[in-house]
């Protein structure tokens, strides 16, 4: 490598204003040395060209250095500003040219490039001289210095002309001489910059006419008006004598061009920006189709939404894309009134760098913008303060186009041109954003697509979260799958991760959310509503993130009014206590009962309205259910310290427990609450029985276990009752408490087909002190009922009949009624035991009495009545009355069809019962037609192998075989056997029955009526809970993979546990 000689370096140093000294004579600390920014490649042909490129770059750096050295950024001449802004583009292209120059081996190409570079070097030299002559020193004298600089010996083009020539040289090099050194974006940017320089008004005002202000002072009375030239007149009036300062704008004297624009924006466009195409098209249609004029009003478009969803990025993308349509683009921080006023003032001053107008405060700067005739864009970003009124800060002139971003949905009222709430990204856009942010090569994206999809789902397609996830993946060089696994373990730390060069002003996801909470924290002492909102925010973090019903709060408050200050049964685990009331949210505790539920709802809506104003929650307009973005929901809990977490969790379980203690006529409310109970339990602190009073937690958990059992969530129920069984031992709890827990635990085991273990627990309870009293307690009577059910299922019908008869007599005596729900249920259970014991006549007689009583007190569509009628019909059929059974079932089905959907499990069960009755009556064609419809519905709503679908297919095959269609029956059973072989043990009775059926069909034997289904095989028996309330027949068994039921009615051989619906015992 050969470096430039010292003379050349001395020249370059002098050119940039340095005074070189000899290193041998100057003190060490004052020695001057310019480090060569380039070296020359040894070689005759291309070395001088690379040296020339380096020289041009070096001079350009000197120009930029002179520009950057100014201490008054607001006073910089606009033309010089625009020129300096385009130097980096040229420099980048020249730097990229060096490797390509080395490859030149053609003399003509070398000489052509050399001529272009020499021309460029001359223009850069002139530009450097003008900048160094004009810019340093007093800004008032810059115009005179500029005029002198354009005369001898510096005579040349104006700065915009010189820059236009430099850009054209760079364009020639990039598009003809060294094709490929610039990207498509850079080539496009070059063309746009050349056009801007060409259309830019002269940097010498004299060449386009003066734009000097006219000033007039008027004292006394009368009119005094002065306006020189076209444009607006800005009047500042003060004092009794009305001193008026009038400014004539030169705006209309110069033909406006999009290139003569002002761009005031502190942020760069995010290179990873993805999606929002439809929104940007809407904004363009609303804001750009007709440019504002004096005959139009201003246009304002508002974007609201949760923090981090990309509101500001959308505005930035819009402003960048359409910047050429506006005279100016101004970005204003609208987070506070002070920042808005300061933003106005700074923007107005930058529009008048020569100080030609007296802009001293917010009022004068707003007046400046109000009178601008050319279209301009104002972006009021982060207008999140819910107490701020934006009206005083919106430009009133017709030329204004305004964008507002806010978390406060109420800001949408300002949207004269429209508004939108920014939701999560579309799934495909979120995946594309993750790939962009992680710099995933195109070739790898198909392979990683599924894992990337999992990541964006975990992040709920939140724009900032996805962007930061991509940055994290890139930084650690991990795969999307590894990120997903890490997120499940370290969610909080990943959501607090921030890039070094953050695309969001807040840096990370949680900080974005925390801005809203901080406002509430700062204001909670002066506004109780804000304090209540903060407390509720923590409570919401311990519920499920969506579908939080308003009724949860009102029901809890109503129930709290019924609990006395002192518990009348302090050791009763079956009832809630004042402790739960004391842990309700303060907003509920403070509310006076005299105001009623309506007043409470209004108060709650105000508090939730605060959270909604910051886009922390959304409120369904019809149901009033509250929901949160999943990441905001996680943040609501993670932001709390340990003490506050414990308080919020106690508040959440008390809220749920109180809202669910009264279960009368509230099934529509209770069922959706299961997800909130699960979420609250899953998020409980470690060792809650040690942190809180054990009995109070036990009371809530026992109630939750009952709800889980009621809604067939038996695994959850078993987990809770097992915990309670462990925590409340015989040494530290009363017999009544242990019996209540034991009974709940046993009933859960029964639901999971663990009759043997349940029987041991129930028998043990009969030997407790509570059972030895003269009058058995209700819990002991329930224990006896559960045991009788177990004996009936085991085939010990005589013992079951005897127990049910005793229980029925006791309850009739206690309740003094034969028609109470408990007595009707016991009659029903007794009838099932009689039927199982072969006493069909007695069973039918008893069931007729039950149906007759229910008809007298229930509506025809009552589910309990319909259920009793169905069981009566099945029992009559088993007793030989097929015709009567068919009539009864058709009546039931007609009513069910009028009130239930076709896929409702109760309707499907009734139809299967009808199939059996028709088949027994020899009406096989009708039976097959109904079964085919039922089977089709099962296939639509359930996964393959589901219990209901399995039974319907087996029943269909059975009827087909009886009817003689062995081929169709064989095809169905063959599929069932294939499934059974993969899912069940060889000794499983269901598998053995299917295999036996298939073997018979394979041998084409016609005598297969013996394997036709019995009543219980299709419909099963109806289970009744221990509290005496009849429960529904078979319900849709969602989400369970184990196939339920024993086709032959024999339980032997079953090894897999199966869940089933409460109120339904499947055989």
1009 and 1036 assigned to the same domain: yes
pLDDT of residue 437: 86
In this structure, is residue 27 part of a structural domain?
Answer: no
> Which of 18-22, 68-72, 633-637, 666-670 has the least mean pLDDT?
18-22
Q: What is the CA radius of gyration of the chain?
A: 42
- Which of 375, 395, 421 terminates a domain? The answer is 421
233 and 267 assigned to the same domain: no
Structure tokens at 149: 């600089």
What is the residue-wise DSSP string for 483-550? HHHHHHH-HHHHHT---SS-SSTT-SHHHHHHHHHHHHHHHTTT-HHHHHHHHHHHHHTTS-SS-B-H
The rounded distance, in Å, linking the Cα atoms of 1067 and 990 is 11
Q: Write the Ramachandran bin of 615: left for phi over 0, alpha for psi from -120 to 50, otherwise beta.
A: left
pLDDT of residue 14: 40
- Report CA torsion sign: 647, 649, 653, 656: positive
- Write the CA distances from 792 to 332, 803, 1013, 1031, 1066, integer angstroms: 78, 10, 21, 17, 13
Quickly state the pLDDT bin for 869 (edges 50, 70, 90). Answer: very high
Quickly state the pLDDT bin for 286 (edges 50, 70, 90). Answer: confident
Nearest 10 degrees: CA dihedral of 1006, 1011, 1012, 1015? 170
How are strands ordered across the β-sheet holding 400-406?
262-264, 328-333, 376-381, 400-406, 299-304, 418-421
pLDDT tens digits, residue range 27-70? 333 233 233 333 333 344 678 888 899 899 989 988 888 887 77
The CATH code of the domain that includes 128 is 1.20.1410
Angle between helix 642-660 and 694-710 (nearest 10): 50
- Percentage of residues in the chain having pLDDT higher than 90: 17
Q: 667 near 600, Cβ under 8 Å? A: no
In this structure, is residue 780 part of a structural domain?
Answer: no
pLDDT tens digits, residue range 763-787? 988 887 666 666 778 888 999 999 9
Give 93's contacts (C-beta < 8 A, 6+ positions apart). Answer: 170, 173, 174, 181, 182, 186, 190
Return the SS3 of 818: coil
The rounded distance, in Å, linking the Cα atoms of 350 and 812 is 92
Domain residues for the domain of 669 are 524-702
Bigger pLDDT: 785 vs 77: 785
Structure tokens at 613: 């104003």
445 and 324 assigned to the same domain: no
98 and 197 assigned to the same domain: yes
The CATH code of the domain that includes 863 is 1.25.40.10
Structure tokens at 632: 């905001």
pLDDT tens digits, residue range 398-414? 888 999 999 888 888 89
pLDDT tens digits, residue range 523-543? 888 788 888 989 999 999 999
- Percentage of residues in the chain having pLDDT higher than 70: 76
| Angle CA 861–862–863, to nearest 5 | 105
pLDDT of residue 208: 41
Give 1039's contacts (C-beta < 8 A, 6+ positions apart). Answer: none
Mark out the alpha helices in 942-1010 (DSSP H runs).
947-963, 966-983, 989-1002
The rounded distance, in Å, linking the Cα atoms of 1049 and 751 is 17
Beta strands in 296-407 (DSSP E): 299-304, 328-333, 376-381, 400-406
In this structure, is residue 911 part of a structural domain?
Answer: yes
The rounded distance, in Å, linking the Cα atoms of 142 and 134 is 6
Burial call 40-77: b when 16+ CB within 10 Å, e when fewer: bbeeeebbebbbbbbbbbbbbebbbebbeeeeeeeebb
The rounded distance, in Å, linking the Cα atoms of 404 and 301 is 6
Domain count for the chain: 6
106 and 184 assigned to the same domain: yes
- Which of 702, 731, 750 terminates a domain? The answer is 702
DSSP-derived letter for residue 568 is S
Structure tokens at 764: 């043990």
HEC-encoded secondary structure of 801-846 = HHHHHHHHHHHHHHHCCCCCHHHHHHHHHHHHHHHHCCCHHHHHHH
In this predicted structure, the answer to whether residue 8 has a pLDDT above a threshold of 50 is no
- CA 483 to chain centroid: 19
Burial grade of 520 (CB within 10 A; 0-12, 13-18, 19 or more): buried
In this structure, is residue 852 part of a structural domain?
Answer: no
pLDDT of residue 309: 85
The CATH code of the domain that includes 332 is 3.40.50.300
pTM (two decimals): 0.59
In this structure, is residue 318 part of a structural domain?
Answer: yes
190 and 312 assigned to the same domain: no
In this structure, is residue 734 part of a structural domain?
Answer: no
In this structure, is residue 968 part of a structural domain?
Answer: yes
Bigger pLDDT: 648 vs 158: 648
Quickly state the pLDDT bin for 963 (edges 50, 70, 90). Answer: low
Burial call 598-620: b when 16+ CB within 10 Å, e when fewer: eebbebbeebbbbbbbbbbbbbe
Place of tokens 């309506």: 598
Q: 536 near 587, Cβ under 8 Å? A: yes
Distance separating the N- and C-terminal Cα atoms of the chain: 92
> Which of 144-148, 371-375, 495-499, 655-659 has the least mean pLDDT?
495-499
pLDDT of residue 606: 83
pLDDT tens digits, residue range 190-205? 888 888 888 777 777 6
Bigger pLDDT: 1036 vs 609: 609
Q: 375 near 319, Cβ under 8 Å? A: no
pLDDT tens digits, residue range 166-193? 999 999 998 888 888 888 888 888 888 8
Tallying the residues shown for the chain, one arrives at: 1067
pLDDT of residue 229: 37
In this predicted structure, the answer to whether residue 373 has a pLDDT above a threshold of 60 is yes
Omega within 30 of 0 (cis) for the link into 822: no
The CATH code of the domain that includes 443 is 1.10.8
- Which of 383, 400, 421 terminates a domain? The answer is 421
1037 and 900 assigned to the same domain: yes
Bigger pLDDT: 695 vs 1065: 695
- How confident is the model over 654-678, as a mean pLDDT? 81
CB 204: neighbour CB atoms within 10 A?
A: 14
Mean pLDDT of the chain: 76
In this predicted structure, the answer to whether residue 151 has a pLDDT above a threshold of 70 is no
What is the residue-wise DSSP string for 137-174? S-GGGHHHHHHHHTSTTS----HHHHHHHHHHHHHHII
606 and 468 assigned to the same domain: no
pLDDT tens digits, residue range 776-815? 788 889 999 999 999 999 889 999 999 999 998 888 888 7
347 and 493 assigned to the same domain: no
Q: 94 near 171, Cβ under 8 Å? A: no
The rounded distance, in Å, linking the Cα atoms of 38 and 12 is 13
336 and 225 assigned to the same domain: no
Burial grade of 278 (CB within 10 A; 0-12, 13-18, 19 or more): exposed
Element (H, E) at 628: strand 626-628
Q: 978 near 994, Cβ under 8 Å? A: no
The rounded distance, in Å, linking the Cα atoms of 600 and 285 is 44
pLDDT tens digits, residue range 978-1014? 888 887 778 777 788 888 888 888 875 444 344 344 4
The rounded distance, in Å, linking the Cα atoms of 976 and 939 is 14
In this structure, is residue 26 part of a structural domain?
Answer: no
The rounded distance, in Å, linking the Cα atoms of 564 and 235 is 72
> Which of 113-127, 247-261, 846-860 has the least mean pLDDT?
247-261
177 and 250 assigned to the same domain: no
664 and 622 assigned to the same domain: yes
């Amino acid at each position: 490598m050969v470096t430039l000689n010292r003379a050349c370096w001395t020249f370059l140093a002098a050119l940039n204003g340095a005074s070189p000294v000899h290193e041998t004579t100057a003190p060490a600390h004052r020695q001057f040395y310019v480090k060569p920014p380039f070296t020359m490649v040894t070689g005759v042909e291309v070395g001088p060209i690379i040296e020339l490129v380096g020289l041009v770059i070096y001079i350009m750096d000197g120009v930029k250095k002179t520009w950057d050295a100014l201490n008054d950024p607001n006073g910089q001449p606009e033309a010089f500003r625009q020129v300096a802004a385009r130097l980096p583009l040229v420099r980048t292209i020249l730097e990229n040219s060096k490797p390509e120059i080395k490859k030149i081996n053609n003399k003509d190409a070398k000489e052509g490039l050399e001529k272009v570079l020499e021309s460029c070097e001359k223009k850069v030299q002139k530009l450097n001289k003008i900048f160094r002559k004009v810019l340093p020193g007093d800004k008032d004298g810059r115009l005179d210095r500029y005029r002198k600089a354009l005369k001898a010996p510096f005579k040349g083009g104006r700065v915009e002309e010189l820059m236009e020539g430099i850009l054209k040289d760079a364009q020639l090099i990039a598009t003809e001489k060294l094709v490929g050194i610039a990207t498509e974006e850079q080539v496009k940017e070059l063309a746009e910059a050349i056009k801007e320089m060409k259309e830019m008004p002269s940097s010498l005002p004299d060449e386009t006419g003066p734009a000097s202000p006219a000033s007039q002072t008027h004292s006394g009375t009368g009119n005094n008006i002065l306006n020189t030239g076209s444009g607006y007149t800005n009047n500042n009036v003060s004092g009794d004598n009305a001193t008026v300062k009038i400014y004539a704008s030169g705006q209309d004297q110069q033909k406006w061009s999009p290139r003569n624009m002002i761009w005031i924006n502190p942020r760069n466009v995010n290179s990873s920006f993805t999606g929002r195409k439809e929104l940007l098209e809407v904004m363009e249609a609303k804001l750009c189709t007709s440019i504002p004029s004096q005959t139009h009003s201003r246009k304002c478009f508002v974007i609201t939404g949760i923090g981090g969803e990309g509101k500001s990025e959308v505005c930035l993308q819009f402003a960048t894309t359409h910047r050429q349509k506006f005279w100016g683009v101004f970005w204003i921080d609208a987070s506070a009134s002070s920042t808005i006023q300061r933003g106005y003032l700074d923007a107005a001053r930058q529009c008048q760098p020569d100080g030609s107008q007296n802009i001293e405060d917010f009022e004068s700067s707003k007046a400046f913008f109000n009178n601008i005739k050319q279209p301009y864009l104002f972006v009021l970003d982060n207008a999140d303060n819910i107490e701020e009124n934006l009206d005083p800060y919106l430009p009133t002139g017709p030329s204004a186009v305004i964008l507002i971003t806010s978390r406060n949905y109420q800001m949408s009222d300002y949207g004269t041109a429209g508004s939108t709430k920014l939701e999560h990204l579309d799934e495909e856009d979120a995946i594309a954003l993750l790939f962009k942010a992680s710099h995933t090569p195109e070739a790898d994206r198909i392979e990683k697509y599924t894992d990337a999809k999992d990541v964006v789902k975990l992040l709920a397609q939140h724009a900032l979260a996805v962007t930061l996830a991509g940055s994290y993946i890139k930084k650690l060089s991990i795969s999307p799958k590894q990120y997903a696994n890490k997120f499940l373990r370290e969610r909080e730390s990943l959501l607090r991760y921030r890039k070094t060069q953050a695309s969001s002003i807040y840096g990370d996801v949680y900080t974005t959310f925390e801005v809203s909470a901080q406002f509430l924290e700062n204001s909670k002492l002066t506004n109780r509503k804000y304090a209540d909102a903060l407390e509720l925010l923590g409570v919401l973090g311990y519920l499920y993130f969506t579908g939080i019903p308003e009724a949860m709060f009102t029901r809890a408050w109503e129930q709290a009014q019924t609990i006395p200050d002192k518990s009348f049964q302090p050791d009763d685990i079956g009832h809630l206590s004042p402790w739960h009331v004391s842990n309700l949210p303060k907003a509920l505790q403070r509310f006076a009962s005299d105001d009623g539920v309506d007043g409470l709802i209004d108060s709650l809506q105000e508090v939730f309205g605060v959270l909604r104003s910051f886009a922390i929650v959304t409120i369904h307009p019809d149901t009033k259910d509250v929901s949160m973005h999943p990441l905001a929901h996680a943040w609501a809990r993670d932001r709390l310290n340990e003490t506050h977490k414990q308080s919020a969790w106690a508040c959440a379980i008390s809220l749920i427990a109180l809202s669910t203690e009264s279960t009368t006529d509230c099934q529509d409310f209770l069922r959706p609450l299961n997800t909130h109970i699960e979420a609250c339990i899953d998020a409980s602190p470690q060792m809650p029985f040690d942190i809180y009073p054990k009995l109070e937690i036990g009371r809530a958990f026992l109630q939750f276990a009952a709800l889980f059992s009621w809604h067939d969530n038996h695994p959850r129920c078993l987990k809770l009752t097992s915990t309670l069984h462990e925590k409340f031992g015989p040494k530290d709890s009363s017999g009544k408490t242990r019996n209540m827990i034991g009974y709940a635990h046993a009933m859960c085991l029964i639901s999971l087909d663990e009759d043997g273990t349940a029987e041991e627990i129930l028998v043990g309870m009969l030997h407790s002190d509570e059972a030895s009293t003269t009058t058995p307690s209700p819990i002991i009577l329930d224990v006896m009922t559960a045991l009788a059910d177990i004996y009936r299922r085991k085939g010990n019908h005589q013992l079951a009949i005897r127990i049910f008869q005793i229980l029925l007599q006791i309850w009739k005596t206690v309740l003094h009624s034969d028609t109470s729900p408990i007595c009707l249920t016991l009659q029903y259970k007794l009838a099932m035991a009689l039927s199982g014991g072969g006493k069909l006549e007695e069973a039918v007689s008893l069931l007729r009495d039950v149906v007759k009583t229910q008809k007298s007190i229930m509506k025809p569509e009552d589910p309990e009545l319909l259920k009793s009628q169905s069981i009566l019909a099945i029992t009559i059929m088993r007793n030989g009355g097929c015709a009567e059974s068919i009539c009864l079932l058709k009546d039931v089905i007609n009513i069910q069809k009028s009130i239930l959907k076709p896929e409702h499990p109760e309707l499907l069960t009734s139809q299967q019962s009808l199939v059996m009755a028709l088949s027994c009556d020899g009406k096989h064609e009708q039976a097959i037609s109904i079964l085919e419809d039922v089977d089709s519905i099962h296939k639509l709503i359930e996964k393959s192998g589901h219990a209901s679908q399995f039974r319907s297919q087996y029943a269909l095959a059975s009827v087909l075989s009886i009817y003689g269609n062995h081929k169709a029956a064989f095809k169905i059973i063959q599929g069932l056997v294939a499934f059974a072989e993969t899912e069940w043990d060889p000794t499983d009775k269901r598998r053995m029955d299917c295999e036996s059926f298939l073997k018979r069909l394979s041998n084409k034997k016609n005598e297969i009526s013996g394997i036709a289904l019995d009543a219980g095989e299709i419909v099963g028996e109806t289970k009744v809970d221990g509290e005496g309330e009849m429960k529904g027949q078979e319900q849709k068994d969602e989400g369970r993979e184990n196939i339920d039921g024993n086709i032959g009615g024999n339980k032997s051989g079953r090894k897999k546990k199966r869940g089933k619906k409460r109120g339904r015992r499947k055989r």
